[in-house]
Amino acid sequence: MIGVIKRSRHISFGFTLAYALWVLLCARVEGKFLYPFLNTFPFPQAFLATAAAGTAMLALVFEFGRWLSWHVIRRSTLADRKQD
């Protein structure tokens, strides 16, 4: 199960990187970003801050899932085993 979680995390981060590159490519072709807030701030700072925030959010979701799995699923399984 742990291998599946690590693999899905790596795939998710891969998609995040691919999407960030796609946004950069679209901005290069169109001359502006698809998202208006990225056009109002200086280029490298706004894009990097948005990419960092998205990556951090994704990491937090996986960490929350790990925490939730441990505290809810595993503890209830252990409690069921102790009752038997």
**pLDDT tens per residue across span 55-81:** 899 889 888 888 887 777 766 665 566
pLDDT given at position 62: 84
pTM of the model: 0.64
Place of tokens 């998205």: 54
pLDDT tens-digit map of 17-52: 898 899 899 999 999 988 888 888 888 888 888 888
Q: Are 72 and 79 in contact (CB under 8 A)?
A: no
- b/e for 11-37, b at 16 or more Cβ within 10 A? eeeeebeeebeebeeebeeeeebeeee
What is d(CA 27, CA 43) in angstroms, rounded to the nearest whole number? 10
**How is residue 33 annotated by DSSP?**
-
